[in-house]
Structures are given as structure tokens and as C-alpha cells.
Structure 1
Amino acid sequence: MAMGVTLLIWASFFISLRASSQSALTIGDIALLRFLPAALVFGWLALPKAKKIKQTPKRYLLAIALGAGLPFLLLAANGLRLAPVADGASLIPGILPLFVTSIAAICYRERISSMRKAGIMLIFFGICLFLATSLLSGSSQIATGHALLLMASFSWAWFTIAMRVSGLTPIEGGAVLSLSACTCLPVLYLLGLVDFNLLNAPSSEIAFHFIIQGIAAGLIANFTFGYAISRLGAEMSAALGSFTPVLAALIAVPMFAESLNMNTVLAMMLIVLGAISASEIITTKKVAIKVG
């Protein structure tokens, strides 16, 4: 149930980022709407656990802060300004199981089952089909967008692994990533890397992105995804996240008049099938038959 809620919010998250490219809001505005409410709520709730958070290995805290915090949002937002919603929703959560499983196998020596290996291969072929389509089309803009989206997915993979091994609760992890993002935003502004236009944007756009980014993605999804990781594990949670592109693409077709060509549909099918296999939702069990 937690992952079901997360999938619906993630699909809305990609729609919101794509819509921001056609609005008066800047990426800095989106980041502020995304992380400030979470920082206030999670920061207050996690205050009694401040000592526990400080004692957490710094490499885990850094992976959480960078993996799902401001760097992730900047990569995803800029990537979706260059590539269609279906591509972004497929590449970020779609390739996530590949990155998560690779990190778990290489860094933590986890064994990978045959079914999970088959799923990872299907996801890999799906991603290759996406990249081949953008390269053959000759669109450097889409190719650049795909590269940014892959970097965002790799960033999110480190967050997924770090949340599992750190021992932090979803609320504590949410406090780490949101507070770090709010701390970095002024620094990036002073460096001229982000700007703000919140005061000049229409109130309807602010309300829309505040609900999707600040409340849904920033608060609810951070908790539900963290909860799912604690119950299902990082690999299965990441694999189930690969169903996001189907929802996002269906919404994007009428909302942004985006078309789904055959290559995109085939790539999405490979990724979803790979996710089902990699999550090991369908497993074969040996049944003992008693005779006599």
C-alpha cells in the first residue's frame, strides 16, 4: 500500500516538473516548495532523535542528503526540461533497480538471484532502447536530457541503499535530506546557480506545485517510500518504482500532447517486465507431494 501511494505521487512529481518548464516558476522555486515544508515538519518530528542522527556514519548521511535532496531535484528538473515525461519517468525509477542491485552487489557483496539478474537485463535493454532512440533522432537536447535523468537515477539509488543500511526511520531520513537541501539553496543562489521568481508567479501555479512537490512528494512520498524500504527491502522497493512511467506517460499524453511512439512503448514494456522480475514478485516454489 505504501508503494502504491508512492507510485501515484511519483507520477504526479514528474508531471509537476515537466509543467514547471512551461510556467513562471524557476527550478529554485520548485526546490523551495519541495523541501521547505518537509524541513519544517520532519525537522520538528526528528528533533528528539538528533543525537541518533549525529551518530549515524557520515557517509550514509551524505548519501541520503545528496541522493534524494537538492542535487537529485536539480538533475531531474533539468533533464525533464529537455526530454519528454515518459522518458524521465522511465529512466529515473526504471533504471533504479539496476543501480541499486549493482551497488548492493559490488559494495555490500549481496548475492543476486537468477530471476533478479533476468529482470536487470530486461531493464538494461529498455534503457538502451531509450538511448538509441534519442541518439538516432539526432536530437542533442533529448540526449542531454537522458544523461541528466540517468545521473538523477544513480543519485536516487545511493539514497535507497543508504536509507536501508543507515537504520534511520523515514522521518529521520526525510529530515536529513530536506534540511540539507534548505541549507544548500541559499549557497547556490549566492553562487548564481539558481534563482527565484516565487513572488511574481501566479498563485494558481504556486498552489499546484506546492501540493504536488511540497505536500505529496516532499512529505508523503518521502515517508511512504522509506516505510516501503523498511518492509520490502531496497531492491524490491526500487523495482516496484519502475511502474511509475506507465502512470506518468498516460497522464502526459492528454496534458502535454506528448506522443508515445513504438520505441518508447517497447522500452517501457521491457522496463516494467524487468521490474516485475527484478522485484521477485513472481517466484516459483517447490511443492512436496506426499504419496500414500
Structure 2
Amino acid sequence: MIITLLIWSGFFLSLRASSHSNLTTADIALIRFVPAALLFSWLCRHKFKRILQTPKRYLLLICWGAGLPYFLIAGQGLQYVPVADGASLIPGILPLFVSGIAVFCYRETISPARKAGLILIAIGVVGFVAKSFAAGQPGMLLGYSILLFASFSWAWFTIAMRLSGLSAMEGAAVIAISGCLLLTMGALSGQMSFNLLSSDHHEVFYHFLVQGVGVGIVSSLCYTMAISRLGAEVSAALGSFTPVLAALMAIPLFSEPLSEQTMLAMALIVMGALAASEVLPVSHSNLLKKLRRQRAG
């Protein structure tokens, strides 16, 4: 999960950097999904029958929530807002959506600690939205809305991956292969444009390392493995540390200073995410009960 956090930070920075280059979002997606699809197709060549036997609703949610649709939604949202805001909203609000889905769709009860955490997350999100109103920038409000939808999509992927029974490698294969298929459809329909061959090769190599190797291969394996080992809610909570890393890295790269309001909103989201997913046990007995439930599950 630590490796995943570092790569996620690079993911947001890479998408933000693409808005200042000749590379289109489709170019970045091509770099993101093709290397992973080639690798995982070969590694899972004997497991396609098992993958296809997975309930189709889970496969669809995995393809949408972590594949090309999520990638395009997140990339679009980051065109309007700073990296710190984007990296805070997508992984930061994730536990709120995961808990909401668990309550409404799976009738799970919410503990007082989780309720308190969700309230902190909501206050943090309001802080971001209030900043766009105060600055008179409607474009930022649109960006926040898009990023919230991206986080909602990622929440469904997190839950679907947990319930599907797929291994980390099989889940990564579903994400990568579906992304390539959708990219092909977009190219044939003329809905996507590519400038990859005419772009600077140094910039292409940078995105290949971050998106192709880091996010496409390493992060896909690490996060899906974290979900299977730690559970959906704990993995979502740990992901809330992404904005801190991304925001610090964005200061020298994009000259994006952190305002006091931004730092306060980030702190609320991080603390709320930890409390909402109950990563910090309130007592030793509660921790033992939680471990027994995980083992029984």
C-alpha cells in the first residue's frame, strides 16, 4: 500500500502535467493501458476462463471504476483544479462513498467512529467547494463535481474487486485489457485523437515510467493485493494519504502553493478517512474483534 501511495501521487502529477503538453489524454491512456495489457494478458493466459466466469456486474464495475472511463473522468477533472485538490478529493472522499455503498446496497451498520469520520470528510469537501465560490471560479466547481464522480466510480471498483474473488493479477488484467479495447473503439469512431508520435520523446518516456510501469503495472497489482489482504475500507482509508504526498510534490513542479484553507481541508479529509475506515482501533479488544471478523470472512 505504501508503494501504491507513492505511485498514485505520481499519477495525479502526470495527468496534471499532460495538460501543459502536446500529449492528449488519449495518449496518456495509451501509455497507461497497453504495456499492462501485454504483460497481464500473457501472465493470465491460462486464467481467462476463470475470469469470464466472474459475475458480469463485478467485471463491469472493475472496468469502469479503475479502467479507461475512470481515467478519462479523473483526467478531465484535473484540467480545472490544482493537483492538491484533485488528489484530496478522489482518494480522500473514497471512504465516504465506500461506506455509503455498503450501507445502502449491503445493509451494513455504521459505527459511531465511522460516522464521525464521514462528517470530517464532508466538512473537508465543503471547504474545497467553498474556496471555488469565494474565488469566483465556476470552472473549479465543475472540476470538483467531476472528481467526485471519479471517486464514486473508484469506490465501486474497490468493492467489486473485493467481492469478485479475482486475484490481484486477474483484476489488473481486466482493467488493462478493457482499457485497450475501449481505446480501440474510441480511435475507430474518431472520438479520440493521438499526438504520441509527434511529442517529445523525453516526455513520452516520463509518462511511460509513471503511467505505463508505475500505475498500469505496479500500482494495479499493489492496490488489488492490498484490497484482498486489508479489505476494501482499510485500503480506501490508507489511500487518503495520497493528497499529502501529491501536494508536496506539486509545489516545486507546478508552483502550486498550499493555502491555509487547502491544508485545513486536506487535514480534515485525511483524519476523517482514517476514522471512517476504523484504521485506528479505539481499544485492544475492538482490534481483536476486527481481526476475528476478517479471518471469519
TM-score, normalised via structure 2 length = 0.93
- Superposed CA offset, 1:76-125 (max 9, x none): 11111111000100010000010111111111122222211211111111
- Pick from 151, 167, 170: which aligns with 2:168? 170
* Counterpart contact for 1:236–1:278, Cα < 8 Å: no
- Superposed CA offset, 1:54-92 (max 9, x none): 111000000000110001110111111111000100010
Matched, 1:93 2:105: no
One-letter amino acid of the counterpart of residue 132, structure 1 = A
How far residue 211 of structure 1 moved from its aligned partner, in angstroms, is 0.3
Aligned counterparts of 1:211 and 1:17: Cα–Cα separation in 2: 13
The aligned residue for residue 267 of structure 1 is 265
The aligned residue for residue 241 of structure 1 is 239
Aligned counterparts of 1:238 and 1:282: Cα–Cα separation in 2: 14
Query: What secondary structure sits across from 1:103 in the alignment?
Result: helix
User: What is the aligned residue count?
Assistant: 285
Query: After the TM superposition, which residues 1-292 of structure 1 pair with which residues of structure 2 at under 5 Å, given as runs?
Result: 3-285=1-283
- Superposed CA offset, 1:4-57 (max 9, x none): 110000001101111111111110000000000111111111121111111110
* Counterpart contact for 1:174–1:223, Cα < 8 Å: yes
- Superposed CA offset, 1:247-269 (max 9, x none): 00001011100121111111001
Structure 1: stretches of 5+ with no match in the other structure? 288-292
Aligned counterparts of 2:130 and 2:188: Cα–Cα separation in 1: 39
TM-score, normalised via structure 1 length = 0.95
The aligned residue for residue 291 of structure 2 is none
Aligned counterparts of 2:104 and 2:40: Cα–Cα separation in 1: 32
Aligned counterparts of 2:231 and 2:171: Cα–Cα separation in 1: 16
How far residue 286 of structure 1 moved from its aligned partner, in angstroms, is 6.0
Aligned counterparts of 1:96 and 1:181: Cα–Cα separation in 2: 22
Aligned counterparts of 1:174 and 1:256: Cα–Cα separation in 2: 31
- Superposed CA offset, 1:195-227 (max 9, x none): 100000011000000000000000000110011
Most deviating of 270-279 and 229-238: 270-279
Aligned counterparts of 1:108 and 1:44: Cα–Cα separation in 2: 35
* Counterpart contact for 1:243–1:275, Cα < 8 Å: no
One-letter amino acid of the counterpart of residue 42, structure 1 = F
How far residue 135 of structure 1 moved from its aligned partner, in angstroms, is 2.3
Distance 1:155 1:286, change over 3 A: closer
Provide the identity percentage. Answer: 58
Aligned counterparts of 2:40 and 2:247: Cα–Cα separation in 1: 31
* Counterpart contact for 2:5–2:241, Cα < 8 Å: yes
Query: What secondary structure sits across from 2:278 in the alignment?
Result: coil
One-letter amino acid of the counterpart of residue 195, structure 1 = S
The aligned residue for residue 290 of structure 1 is none
How far residue 144 of structure 1 moved from its aligned partner, in angstroms, is 1.3
* Counterpart contact for 2:237–2:279, Cα < 8 Å: no
Aligned counterparts of 1:88 and 1:169: Cα–Cα separation in 2: 29
* Counterpart contact for 1:105–1:111, Cα < 8 Å: yes
Structure 2: stretches of 5+ with no match in the other structure? 286-297
One-letter amino acid of the counterpart of residue 42, structure 2 = W
Q: CA RMSD in A?
A: 1.1
